[in-house]
Amino acid sequence: MGATKTEHFTDKQNALATLTKALGHPARIAIMEYLIKVDACICGDIVNHLPLAQPTVSQHLKELKQAGLIKGEVEGNSICYCIDEKAIGKLLSYFTALANRIEKKNSCC
């Protein structure tokens, strides 16, 4: 086993899990925060701000990109990365809905 049984869950559940899983690592959180902190898309410069080797950072960027959390465009001999707002929007609306649904309940714990 070891493989997630995605086929047993809904597309929405899988899609959300893909986003949260991609954010489920402090290095990828740090990358997202750095992309936001700097007031533009980052072309290069990410590796130097993380305590990880270049191949490791590259791999994390790849995962964030595959999950749809960031976009990357080639720009000269470097690559311009920036946050994909849509993904953050999805996360925000999901957790907003979740919080609303919880508020309406009588908590029994």
Footprint of a copy of itself on this chain (CB under 8 A)?
4-6, 8-10, 13-14, 16-17, 20-30, 32-33, 36, 39-41, 51-52, 71, 73, 80, 82-83, 85, 88-89, 91-92, 95-96, 98-99, 101-102, 105-109
**Minimum distance of DNA from residue 107's CB (angstroms):** 18
Question: 11-22 and 85-103 helices cross at what angle (nearest 10)?
Answer: 110
Q: Is 20 in a helix, a strand, or coil?
A: helix
Q: Which spans of this chain sit near DNA (rule: CB under 7 A)? A: 1-5, 21, 24-25, 27, 43-47, 52-56, 58-63, 72, 74, 76-79
* Nearest CA-CA partner of 66 in 16, 18, 24, 20: 18
Q: Which is nearer to a copy of itself, 77 or 100 (CB)?
A: 100
The single-letter DSSP state of residue 49 is G
| Cα separation values, 21 from 13, 16, 77, 96, Å | 12, 8, 30, 19
Q: Which does 45 bind (CB under 5 to 8 A by kind): a copy of itself, DNA, none?
A: DNA
Q: Which does 109 bind (CB under 5 to 8 A by kind): DNA, a copy of itself, none?
A: a copy of itself
Amino acid at 94: Y
